[in-house]
Amino acid sequence: MLQGQKPQEKKLSLKNLDVLEYKISVVDYPHEFFKVKADKKLKPGKSAEIKLKPIKELPAEGFKKVLTIDLQGKENTRVTVPVIYAVGAPPASSPKK
């Protein structure tokens, strides 16, 4: 993200390659920065989304956090995904001729 830009909602897509259906629970995420909304179920062969929406101005120095997802079904699975926010300087304008 470039300096001066507002943080946008980000989406994470999960695809179920299994024959089992799973219930999705987001068990850990950076509460201080984001509101999280997730689909409730992940059906066999289908995809589900998890959305992270910034709830306040994100720190200029950036951060590294994690998002942990619990998939509950006949077999339980827990997935941890890095959430990294970094700010870059805006591109320099071209010199005028």
The arithmetic mean of pLDDT across residues 60-87, rounded, is 89
The count of domains in the chain is: 1
CATH number at residue 32: 2.60.40
What are the b/e assignments for 21-34, b being 16+ CB within 10 Å? ebebeeeebbeebb
The model carries a pTM of 0.74
The arithmetic mean of pLDDT across residues 63-71, rounded, is 93
Domain-embedded: residue 91: no
**CA-to-CA distance for 11 and 62, rounded, in angstroms?**
19
Contact 44, 21 (CB under 8 A): yes
Q: Check pLDDT > 90 for residue 87.
A: no
Q: Check pLDDT > 90 for residue 80.
A: yes
Band (76; pLDDT cuts 50, 70, 90): confident
Domain-embedded: residue 45: yes
The arithmetic mean of pLDDT across residues 14-29, rounded, is 94
